[in-house]
Amino acid sequence: MRFNDIKSSVRGFMSLKDVSSHEADYEAIYQVLNNDHRKNVRALGETLRKYVEHYKNEYARVEKLYDFDKSYGYDIVAGVDEVGRGPLAGPIVAAAVVLDNNSRDLILRINDSKKLTKEVREELSDIIKKEAISYSIALKTNREIDKEGIGFCNNEIFKMAVGELKVTPDIVLSDGYTIREFNLRNEAVIKGDTKSAAIACASIIAKVYRDNLMEEYSKKYTQYHFDKNVGYGTKEHIDAIICHGSCPIHRESFLKNILNK
């Protein structure tokens, strides 16, 4: 067989969604490649071996996240997380996600959204929205944050996001905080986006949604560089506030120490 045909076949195998269910095929392919007299074909075999090893490790890591959610013993487990509690500008956003915990087609690479690159977050956000049983996104604006307080808004968007799911969860796992005045079973999970599959997925789609929103705002309020800082208090952002004052999406209640200097 020609090298390019072999290379194409290996790429096809590596594109499979669930490599673990084709392990016998992998072993057969690897043995053929490894025993080939051509050095470049054996190198392909080594590439395939490393890929499968990486896949197995990643599958095992993510399986633990799904197992964590299943350990609560309920059929419909929702994860909810927020992004944007600390910035000086923009909304606070929450997402809620319900996954199919009985599927073997796990969503690999999910993690705390801050540990992923922008490109991976964007890709995973699309996958999560397609694969999830249900997901929803809720937000509170900077004006609502100024009026109601960040703690109240944080709690409310958790409730809003869960309330907009198309299925009613048996239990809601919330990242870091127990949801107050909430009529569903709820467990707070500290650093939940590194332990729970549903919370990790919620953190990803919430961050992608908010980051994209702040990028749009940056086109209108160019001097604040929201496309880079997404509203957080970087030196460049604070210097811009001191120079230009605040803009309509700033949280005035967060700026008192800056503007009173």
What's the predicted TM-score (pTM) here?
Answer: 0.86
Contacts 24+ apart (CB under 8 A), 225-232: 226/89, 226/90, 230/84, 230/87, 230/90, 231/84, 231/87, 231/88, 231/89, 231/90, 232/86, 232/87, 232/88
Predicted local distance difference test score (pLDDT) of residue 223:
97
**Has residue 1 got a pLDDT over 60?**
no
Assign 38 a pLDDT band (cuts: 50, 70, 90). confident
SS3 172: strand
Which domains are delineated in the chain?
A: 3-70 (no CATH), 77-210 (3.30.420.10)
E strand or H helix at 159 = helix 150-163
Predicted local distance difference test score (pLDDT) of residue 161:
98
Predicted local distance difference test score (pLDDT) of residue 14:
57
- pLDDT tens digits along 94-140: 999 999 998 888 999 999 898 999 999 999 999 999 999 999 999 99
Predicted local distance difference test score (pLDDT) of residue 29:
73
Predicted local distance difference test score (pLDDT) of residue 50:
79
**Cα 134 to Cα 80: distance, rounded to the nearest angstrom:** 12
**Has residue 260 got a pLDDT over 90?**
no
Mean pLDDT over the full length of the chain: 90
- pLDDT tens digits along 196-252: 999 999 999 999 999 999 999 999 999 999 999 999 999 999 999 999 999 999 999
Give the whole-number percent of the chain exceeding pLDDT 70: 89
- pLDDT tens digits along 140-170: 999 999 999 999 999 999 999 999 999 999 9
E strand or H helix at 237 = helix 235-244
Predicted local distance difference test score (pLDDT) of residue 92:
98
SS3 118: helix
Which residues participate in the annotated binding site for a divalent metal cation?
Answer: 81-82, 175
- pLDDT tens digits along 39-94: 877 777 777 777 778 888 889 999 999 999 999 999 999 999 999 999 999 999 99
Assign 11 a pLDDT band (cuts: 50, 70, 90). low
- pLDDT tens digits along 180-189: 999 999 999 9
